[in-house]
Amino acid sequence: MSLNTIKGLFKRTRQSEKRVSVIGTIESGKTTALGLICLTCQTLSAQNKGFKSRIRERTSGIKQAPSDLRSGHFPQKTLPGSYYEADLLLKQESSFGSKVVTLPFCETAGEDIQKWISHFNESMYQQRPQLQVVDELYKYVLNSHGFILVCPTSRALMHTDSAPIEEVPEGTSRDPDVNLSRIIDAIYDYKRQAKMQIEGIAVLATKQDMIQPYAQSMGIDLTNPVGMQKFMTSFFPDTSQSLKWYGLDKIRFFPSWVQVQRDQTGKPLKWPDKTHRILMNPRRARMPQYSELSYMNLIEWLINTFAVEDK
């Protein structure tokens, strides 16, 4: 079955829609990132009369994520082997007309995408690939106009003596850099075979509050694109090389963090279920302390990159 046949069989997204897939390794912060995007949209809608947004849930109860964040909890993690879909609809109205972005966000563990692509490549010349595998590949790769790559910057601490030993899924690397680069390379190759272009890639650098002191000690400023590229080159060299192939001038970096509550010794406070407590903004009701400006910039980038005219 050729890639053109696959595109014909599963062409379901209208031309007026632009699909952006959220990709990251296990425990990189994908669900939290989606929750923060939704939370920021709510804020922008309240502040800007011309900005409108709504969420259309499909297989995902994604509305629970911003609700959890508003209550000081981190959203539940995406389990391996599962995927979630929800449409995020953005509209910006002005005297010159209105622009609309319909973003069917797809969230899954990056290792699953890697598995699907590998499965398809192994069987495409031997036997007809499973219909489910083809369908998932179409959703997450072929039919995505852009990608938000969730990069857990805190994992740079794994190279230090104080890094905890963590369990990792079978068949994956302990280093997220290896897994991220494999995922990106597989997507590039698949897109090239399908003769389809990637319209934009955003790197959402999560958990920066954990890595900031260490980065400063290394002379790296994570608040600007130059410092972010230096950090990626130092601690995510394989991923950086894969992104460089696409073109660093076409990639946008966005810092992401959610501040957690800490005791006097700096130790994070936890809920009874052992998850971290989020520090709430004392000046805004039911609003966590997070990198709000960065997410506003991300939403602006999404509109500028993927918006279509409202007809």
What is the per-residue pLDDT across 163-187, written as a single tens digit (0 to 9) for each? 443 444 344 446 778 888 888 887 8
Q: Taking the model in full, what pTM does it have?
A: 0.82
Question: What average pLDDT does the structure give for the chain?
Answer: 78
Please write the tens of the pLDDT for every residue from 126-160. Answer: 444 455 655 666 666 667 889 899 888 887 776 54
pLDDT category of residue 252 using cuts at 50, 70 and 90: very high
**Boundaries of every domain in the chain:** 3-159+166-309
Name the pairing type of β-strands 97-109 and 83-94. Answer: antiparallel
What pLDDT sits at residue 85? 78
3-159+166-309 maps to which CATH number? Answer: 3.40.50.300
| Higher per-residue pLDDT: 78 or 88 | 88
Average pLDDT over every residue of 103-128: 60
pLDDT above 70 coverage of the chain, percent: 76
| Res 161: pLDDT | 45
On the CB side of 102, CA atoms within 13 Å amount to: 10
- In this prediction, residue 131 carries a pLDDT of 56
Name residues whose C-beta falls within 8 Å of residue 157's C-beta, 6 or more positions apart in sequence. 163, 210, 211, 214
